[in-house]
Amino acid sequence: MTKQVLVMGAVAYAPKVVTIWEGFKAWFREHGLEFDFVLYSNYERQVEDQFNGSLHLAWNSPLAWVRAERIARAKGVKVSAIAMRDTDCDLTSVLVVKNGSGIDSLDALRGKTVGSGAIDSPQATLIPLDHLRQAGLVAGRDYTARRFDVLGGKHGDHVGGELDAARALVDNQIDAAWMIDGNHLAFSSDGTLPSGQTRVLARTAPFDHCNFTVSPDAPHDLIARFTELILGMRWDDPIVRPLLELEGLRQWKTGRTSGYAALERAVDDEKFYDAHGNIIIENYRY
């Protein structure tokens, strides 16, 4: 009898994605789980395929989770987040300004130009816009928003838009730039943000990032085995460690959905998805 195969979707935001999941595929099979993966060019198609029987599981961005959960609710079914990286928990994004700019508070951004990442980036656009909105600053009314759109559909799983925004700040094209804290540290280390020339003006509240989202019709036994195996991966395993390093974690943790509140609010305010998970934002190409 042919064993049933657990099929997972992942978005190919960089060449390393192939290396990561080919490695995990071999490891899962060695541990008795028939596993395969399908690569997508964008999260929107991946989420849609979670509801047509194509995928049992998806490695989803936080924005993809929001869409999947809304589609599921509208259909009267459920999706669940079973695991995430240790590095997906309690992240923050920062708003960077140049020293000597005279911008010493959020209120000083009125009339200024604020840069962000891609249209669909939770960490560099959606959550930052929500942070400013909660402080009483609305894009187009109180300040000019300049978006650095790169690789639509990847949900900001790359540094492109944030890197362009950082460079624009240094070149005085914009007055402030949003980026996730990890990229701020990287840009400060590699000289993109010259030492001593910039500072952090504001920081968002903590939020969570990616998770493994289980499709409504996924076979429970295969999902249970996948969960057991992935949570059992160890940093000191010489086969697994290089893959964990590529994926940017030391340990997989049990999934949670408590860290998406700001993103949910931003999705509504920016009219990105409607309550049924339909894409309603304008000028979104993916």
79 and 164 in a single domain? The answer is no
For residue 11, being part of any structural domain is answered with yes
Output the six-digit token pair for 133.
Answer: 């909105």
pLDDT of residue 275: 98
In this prediction, residue 2 carries a pLDDT of 64
* Confidence at residue 237, expressed as pLDDT on a 0 to 100 scale: 96
Dihedral in degrees, nearest 10, Cα atoms 114, 136, 89, 16: -20
- The pLDDT of residue 113: 98
Domain limits for position 115:
93-203
- Average model confidence (pLDDT) across the chain: 96
Residue 1 lies in a domain: no
Instruction: Give yes or no: residues 196 and 260 share one domain.
Output: no
Q: Which strands form 93-98's sheet, in the order they lie side by side?
A: 144-147, 113-116, 176-180, 93-98, 198-203
105 lies in a domain? yes
Q: How does 14-45 read in b/e, with b if 16+ C-beta sit within 10 Å?
A: eeebeebbebbbebbeeeebebebeebebbbe
Q: Are residues 121 and 177 in the same domain?
A: yes
Name the stretches of the chain with pLDDT < 50: none
74 and 214: one domain?
yes
CATH number for the domain harbouring residue 192: 3.40.190.10
- The count of domains in the chain is 2
Question: Is the domain of 197 the same as that of 213?
Answer: no
Here the tokens at position 106 are 């959020």
Structural domain includes residue 278:
no
How far the first Cα of the chain sits from its last, in Å, is 40
For residue 24, is it within any domain? yes
**DSSP letter, residue 48:** H
Q: Is 116 a domain residue? A: yes
- Answer yes or no: do 193 and 239 share one domain: no
